[in-house]
Structure 1
Amino acid sequence: MSRIDTFVAPRPNPALIRAMTSVNRIVMLRGVPGFRDLLPFNRLAGLRGVSNVRHIDLPHADLERLKASCGAEKATFITPNHPEFFTDWMIDKEIVSQVSPLTASWATNGVVNGLGRLMQKFWLANNLIAQIPGNSGAAKEHSVAWALKGHGVLLHPEGGVGWHSNVVAPLLPGAVEMGLEALKRGRATDPDFKVWIAPVVWKLAFTGNVEAALAKECAYVEKNLKIERQATDTLPQRIHHVYSTLLARDEAASGMPSDEGATYAERRQALVAELGRRLGESISFDAAITDTAELLRHARRWQRENTDDPERQRQVRALADTIQRLQRVGPWAAANPRITQEETAEHLKRVRNDYCRGGLRDTINRFIPQPAGPRCAHIRVPDPLGLHEYPGSIDDAVAELHRRMQETVTSTVTELAAKGSFIFYPNPFYRH
């Protein structure tokens, strides 16, 4: 097996972790006071703060709630939402530094193992657990053992980043499954052993008007993707036009007519349904099962188990990748008549990640996306889920975890909107 697909247990270095906590706080999040707002220094990400998160809003009661779930003689699995790439680990690290500094964090194997031997050693010393697609048994075993030692284990139950911070995507069951295994092992020696699933959610809000910076980024996307700008369009309308044009290209590539009278959501759903039908036929998937997520899981399994036909592999991969990409703009995009600057920024980051490829600038953006301006991270901690006292099934526990996370995200967004923290625009996805 290649290094990228080989699990190596983390070797946490407490001194390095403490040092990186300070580096993260200053260089990655808040920036250097005196330089972060001063030209030309504020153009340097390390002085401005790479993620440009100037303020952390974490109420004392929420912090104490999370602290109470962590520590010795219990196992804790911390499950943050996953609205943004790169900033995710920076904020997560800031949180765990205050409640359980030696928390182990799951990360993609491309980050932990895929950047060379020296970087792998660095990430393992920072207590990162490499997630190996299709072969996560060793990572789960290590996580359970580490949690039983009284240290936290952090993983994002949404899986990959969706760039939709107001909506929590369907959750994966890994944290609950590992929690139940930890409970079984803990109860073998201590009948009162407790296991907590501790959800955390955060919402990023710009601290001012960043429309000019967003318009500049949108112009870059339009030029990169060769999409003509409509002179009278507002910024959200320009983004809608970008997505509509890209959808038309996907329709043309698939041989499907584009229904100009249909909304973006209707066209997208029709294309996903047709590509799903083709994918199902390619892998002999039961057509009666209409769950697209299950279809994609089956397709990934099929690719792992059928490597003797390269051409068919290519076709299956192309269909699955296109469906997955199209689904990243879900029904939530058209749910509300207004759209915020933050949601506009998320649309831009998503389209850059999914469609803008080839150049160094776009590669850097995928790994270290740069925000349009200074932000505040509003962090909230829903009630933890005690598996030691939860009577339901794994599916029930995952559904309950999702409910708590979504309710807290929604209440946080409502609270911020009432305070005037958002700038709103008419949402062109709402009717088009």
Structure 2
Amino acid sequence: MGRIDVFVAPRPNPALINVMTIVNRIVMLRGVPGFRDFLLFNRLAGLRGVANVRHIDFPAADQQRLQACCGAGQATFITPNHPEFFTDWMIDKEVVSRVSPLAASWATHGVVNGLGRPMQKFWLANNLIAQIPGNNEAAKAHSVDWALQSHGVLLHPEGGVGWHGNFVGPLLPGAVEMGLEALQRGREMNKEFKAWVAPVVWKLAFTGNVEPALARECAYVEKSLKIEGAAGGSPSERVYRIYSTLLSRDEQACGLTAEEGAPYAVRQQSVLAELGRQLAAAIAAGPGLDMAELLRHSRRWLREGKADADEQKRVRKLTETIQRIQRVGPWAFADQTITQEETAEHLKRIRNDYCKGTLRDTINRFIPQPAGPRCAHIRVPEPLGLHAYGGSIDEALVVLRSRMQEAVTGIVAELQAGGGFISYPNPFYHR
């Protein structure tokens, strides 16, 4: 295996972690006071805050609830939602700096291991745990060992970024599994030992009207993807036309013709059904599989290398196309209105999934730039005490996801009541 696929245990450096906490707070999040609000200076990411999160709304009661789960005699697995890339680690780092400064954080192996040895050393010193796809046993073992030393371990239970800040996706079981293992080992030494899965959610909201910036980003995407005639209208209308055009290209590739005026959701399901049929035939999957099961079968089929290179390439492309189309989920069709924040998320998802080949696009995938200044609203739902829980792992995931979604919905309702969102009619809406 290459270095990128080999797990190396973190070597946390407390002094470096403390310095990076300050750098994160000023350079990455809030910006440099005295520069961030002036023209020209506020266009420089390092002065205005790379993630442009000017304000952090983290009530003392929520912070205390999380802090109570951390410390001696307990193992804590902190599980934030995952609505945005890059900003995720910056906000997560701010959270753990307040409750468990030496917490370890899971990150993709492409970041920890894939940027050369000097950067790998830097990330390991910052206590990042490399997630190795298909080979996470070493990372899990290290995480349990670290949690048993009364330091937190942070990982995103949703897995990859979905760019849907109002919706919590299905959760993966890793945090609960590691928490139960830590509980078992901890109880061997201390019968009163406790293990927690502590969910955290955050919602980003613009502090003002960012429509001009959204319009500029729409124009860039339209030009990059050669989508003509999409200019004009609100940003949400332009985003819809972009996605509709991209779906039309998928329809043409499948040999499908959409009924005139058909809703996006209906067209999407037709394309997914046809792609699913083609994928099932290619891997000789049994009948009656739902899409999630079919994708699992296809990934296993690819790992086992059951066909020649051309057929593997075809199956890989079908799998990736299905996953890409699915990233516009049912949450996109649920509400009659769409906020500027949700419109911005659509744009970032499009740029991540479709805009490739230039340095600008590559930088955007790693460090996406927001359309304007924002406030991060952070809440801590009720932690799940595994030491007092008798249900199954699947039941625990249902409980955690419910608590996280309720907290996100609560933030959104609170902001809406205070007039904190600018909204448009939602072109994706489908009854």
Give the 3-state SS of the residue equivalent to 1:301 in structure 2. helix
Distance apart, 1:251 and its partner CA: 1.2
Distance apart, 1:372 and its partner CA: 0.5
* Cα contact 2:83–2:163 (8 A) shared by 1: yes
Distance apart, 1:233 and its partner CA: 2.6
Give the 3-state SS of the residue equivalent to 1:7 in structure 2. coil
Distance in 1 between residues matched to 2:403 and 2:155, nearest whole Å: 17
Distance apart, 1:231 and its partner CA: 5.3
Matching of residues 13-412 of structure 1 within 5 Å: 13-230=13-230, 232-290=232-290, 292-306=291-305, 309-412=308-411
Distance in 1 between residues matched to 2:3 and 2:231, nearest whole Å: 50
Distance apart, 1:284 and its partner CA: 2.6
Q: Deviations over 1:185-205 (max 9, x none)?
A: 111222221100000000000
Q: Deviations over 1:268-305 (max 9, x none)?
A: 11111221222122223222121x22322222222122
Query: Which stretch has the larger CA shift, 234-243 or 155-164?
Result: 234-243
Q: Deviations over 1:198-250 (max 9, x none)?
A: 00000000000000000000010011111123455322111100000000001
Distance apart, 1:88 and its partner CA: 0.1
Give the 3-state SS of the residue equivalent to 2:189 in structure 1. coil
TM-score where L is the length of structure 1: 0.98
TM-score where L is the length of structure 2: 0.98
Q: Deviations over 1:86-140 (max 9, x none)?
A: 0000000000000001110000000000011110010000000000001111111
Corresponding residue of 2:425:
426
Unaligned runs of 5+ in 1: none
RMSD: 1.2
* Cα contact 1:229–1:238 (8 A) shared by 2: no
Give the 3-state SS of the residue equivalent to 2:54 in structure 1. strand
Distance in 2 between residues matched to 1:238 and 1:382, nearest whole Å: 36
Supply the AA of the counterpart residue of 2:222. Answer: E
Give the 3-state SS of the residue equivalent to 1:188 in structure 2. helix
* Cα contact 1:277–1:287 (8 A) shared by 2: no
Distance in 2 between residues matched to 1:348 and 1:256, nearest whole Å: 26
Unaligned runs of 5+ in 2: none
Give the 3-state SS of the residue equivalent to 1:233 in structure 2. coil
Distance in 1 between residues matched to 2:5 and 2:280, nearest whole Å: 28
* Cα contact 2:283–2:298 (8 A) shared by 1: yes
Report runs of 4+ in structure 1 exceeding 4 Å deviation: none
Distance in 1 between residues matched to 2:285 and 2:386, nearest whole Å: 35
Distance in 2 between residues matched to 1:368 and 1:193, nearest whole Å: 40
How many percent of aligned residue pairs carry the same amino acid?
73
Change (3 A) 1:307 1:431: closer
Give the 3-state SS of the residue equivalent to 1:79 in structure 2. strand
